[in-house]
Amino acid sequence: MNNSPILLLLGSGAREHALAEKLARDGATVHVLPGNAGIPNSHPGVNPLDFEAVKAFADAHGARLIVVGPEAPLAAGIADFFAGSDIKVFGPTRAAARLESSKVWSKEFMRRHGVATAQAWPFRSDNIAAARAKAAELGGHVVVKYDGLAAGKGVYVCSSLEEAEAAFDDLQSSYSGWFSFLLEEKLIGPEISIIGLTDGREIKLLATSQDHKQLLAGDRGPNTGGMGAYCPVPFADDNVLAAIRRDIIDPTLRGLQNEQFAFHGFLYFGIMLTPGGPKLLEYNVRLGDPEAEVLLPALDSSLLALMEATLNGTLARQTVTPRPGAFVGVVLASGGYPAPTFPTGFPITGLESLPAHTRAYHGATRRNHAGQLVTNGGRVLVLAAHGPDLETAIARAYEACAYVTFHDAYFRTDIAQRPAPVFASAVVN
Ligand code: AMP
């Protein structure tokens, strides 16, 4: 790779907008497939799951690096498709992507390698009766997880037997045919997201962050793809991070090496800090969204250099330098999201007059026939702000939310405002 590489970025959301912006700032020429109306150099005609089309595009544009935003191309084997070619893919092989694409396989991996996690029991759809019995034994304090990729859905956090029964019923009606699922003990504690770049041996961590998965303020309502994020997390101090490293990250890296996975990419750890210590809830094999929209502006180092080092086996020599201050991103969503259908196509106004220190990342926008920018999905925009401290960043993000709007726009009013957790000492012991 030379000093100003041409690269392809796959995906179409606000995460890809933030990635494209950062990689361009680092000196790359970035083509986004398919991208969206707000991302420069988007190519809406190319389907990222059509690997032959991606290859033809890479060849035509002289791109020798492909950065994968969402999980689907990884789970479909894009890294395997290009293995052995002169095009490098920043993302794991299909086998390693099972860390995310199969909850059952991922839990077995955690167990094999001593990664701290919730107790869990796998079941098949033809034996839901056994799962019901186990849920009853646990008093309904369980989490039910569909085994495959479910785009932020497919996880039911239950506090009673009635809720667990409803989860089983919903599983049965949502997924046809034969499927597997996990029943997990329900853990309690604050959650943090830790995301790093890894070559399977070394890992370089970005800032700690927190997502807000539920639709309504106070972490109520249905799960979504994420309604906002912030970084860094004030309570994730050195003690907490040392425990996470020891109990979760280091055993994971040892597992990747033992099982000889070719893993070059982002690895995401969704962690709960429980009274019994940090526990891993899930892996993702990509950058989180909306975490990316705060983590990338918070990264002072060159992401391009970090990615190249990951692929070249020189990650150990890299340092990750954060930008000082705090970063907050608020998702502006379409009214009705996350229901399966809701109206879109509404004109978006106010983007030209964003306040200082704020940025709009496009998640689901398009141009209509009149050339107007309109809504095109659930999570339309992420309004991200930087400030010297969290309070200022929050105030700036919400100032931006007052400028930018569209018909029936919805956003959570409490992003980055959870009360500080009180830890039992076991969290860090
Ligand atoms: P996952 O996709 O596995 O991370 O689950 C989605 C969300 O469900 C997490 O971010 C947690 O808020 C919640 N969750 C998952 N597993 C558990 C668990 N064992 N105990 C409590 N909450 C959980």
If DSSP states are collapsed to H, E and C, what string results for the chain? CCCCCEEEEEECCHHHHHHHHHHHHCCCEEEEEECCCCCCCECCCCCCCCHHHHHHHHHHHCCCEEEECCCHHHHCCHHHHHCCCCCEEECCCHHHHHHHHCHHHHHHHHHHCCCCECCEEEEEHHHHHHHHHHHHHCCCCEEEEECCCCCCCCEEECCCHHHHHHHHHHHHHHCCCCCEEEEEECCCCCEEEEEEEECCCCEEECCCEEECCEEECCCEEEECCCCEEEECCCCCCHHHHHHHHHHHHHHHHHHHHHCCCCCCEEEEEEEEEECCEEEEEEEECCCCCCCHHHHCCCECCCHHHHHHHHHHCCHHHCCCCECCCEEEEEEEEECCCCCCCCCCCCECECHHHCCCCEEEEECCEEECCCCCEEECCCEEEEEEEEECCHHHHHHHHHHHHHHCECCCEECCCCCCCCCCCCCCHHHCC
Taking the centre of ligand 1 as the mean of its atom positions, its distance from the CA of residue 272, in whole angstroms, is 8
Distance CA 304, CA 8 (A): 12
pLDDT at residue 425 is higher than 50 = no
Q: What is the model's pLDDT at position 424?
A: 47
Distance CA 416, CA 22 (A): 23
pLDDT at residue 145 is higher than 50 = yes
Task: Pick the atom of ligand 1 nearest to 185's CA.
Answer: 19
Per-residue pLDDT tens over the stretch 181-214: 999 999 999 999 999 999 999 999 999 999 999 9
Taking the centre of ligand 1 as the mean of its atom positions, its distance from the CA of residue 278, in whole angstroms, is 13
Taking the centre of ligand 1 as the mean of its atom positions, its distance from the CA of residue 21, in whole angstroms, is 31
| Phi, psi of 180, deg, nearest 5 | -110, 160
- pLDDT (mean) for 212-233: 94
371: exposed, middle or buried (Cβ count in 10 Å: 0-12, 13-18, 19+)? exposed
Q: What is the model's pLDDT at position 272?
A: 97
Taking the centre of ligand 1 as the mean of its atom positions, its distance from the CA of residue 413, in whole angstroms, is 22
- pLDDT (mean) for 300-329: 97
pLDDT exceeding 90 applies to what percent of the chain?
A: 89
Taking the centre of ligand 1 as the mean of its atom positions, its distance from the CA of residue 89, in whole angstroms, is 29
Q: What is the model's pLDDT at position 421?
A: 84
Task: Pick the atom of ligand 1 nearest to 188's CA.
Answer: 21
- pLDDT (mean) for 37-47: 96
Between the alpha carbon of residue 395 and those of residues 218, 296, 358, the distances in Å are: 18, 20, 11
Q: Rounded mean pLDDT of the chain?
A: 94
Residue 152 confidence class, pLDDT cut points 50, 70, 90: low
Per-residue pLDDT tens over the stretch 347-380: 999 999 899 999 999 999 999 999 999 999 999 9
Between the alpha carbon of residue 254 and those of residues 112, 199, 273, 387, the distances in Å are: 11, 12, 22, 38
Taking the centre of ligand 1 as the mean of its atom positions, its distance from the CA of residue 281, in whole angstroms, is 6
Residue 428 confidence class, pLDDT cut points 50, 70, 90: low
272: exposed, middle or buried (Cβ count in 10 Å: 0-12, 13-18, 19+)? middle
Distance CA 62, CA 29 (A): 11
CA quadruple 37, 38, 41, 47: dihedral, nearest 10:
-50
Q: What is the model's pLDDT at position 222?
A: 87
- pLDDT (mean) for 40-53: 96
Which stretch of 40-54, 140-154, 204-218, 297-311 has the lowest confidence by average pLDDT?
140-154
Task: Pick the atom of ligand 1 nearest to 213's CA.
Answer: 10
Taking the centre of ligand 1 as the mean of its atom positions, its distance from the CA of residue 211, in whole angstroms, is 12
**Which residues lie with the beta carbon below 6 Å from any ligand 1 atom?**
118, 143, 145, 155, 157, 184, 186-187, 191, 213, 270, 281-282
Q: What is the model's pLDDT at position 279?
A: 98
pTM listed for this prediction? 0.94
pLDDT at residue 395 is higher than 90 = yes
Between 425 and 171, the more confident residue is 171
Per-residue pLDDT tens over the stretch 84-142: 999 999 999 999 999 998 999 999 999 999 999 999 999 998 999 999 999 999 999 99
Candidate from 188, 195, 272 with most ligand 1 atoms within 8 A of CB, to mutate: 272
**Ligand 1 atom 9: the closest Cα is on which residue?**
281
pLDDT at residue 154 is higher than 90 = no
Q: What is the model's pLDDT at position 419?
A: 86
- pLDDT (mean) for 156-179: 90
Q: What is the model's pLDDT at position 1?
A: 46
pLDDT at residue 343 is higher than 70 = yes
Distance CA 426, CA 429 (A): 5
Phi-psi region at 130: left, alpha or beta (left = phi > 0; alpha = psi -120 to 50): alpha
Distance CA 416, CA 331 (A): 12
- pLDDT (mean) for 310-316: 96
129: exposed, middle or buried (Cβ count in 10 Å: 0-12, 13-18, 19+)? exposed
Q: What is the model's pLDDT at position 423?
A: 63
Residue type, position 303, single letter: L
Residue 40 confidence class, pLDDT cut points 50, 70, 90: very high
The crossing angle, in degrees rounded to 10, of helices 103-112 and 94-101 is 100
Cβ contacts of 131 within 8 Å, gap of 6 or more: 121, 123, 144, 168, 181, 183
Task: Pick the atom of ligand 1 nearest to 103's CA.
Answer: 3
Task: Pick the atom of ligand 1 nearest to 186's CA.
Answer: 20
Q: What is the model's pLDDT at position 368?
A: 96
Asked whether 266 and 204 are in contact (CB, 8 A), the reply is no
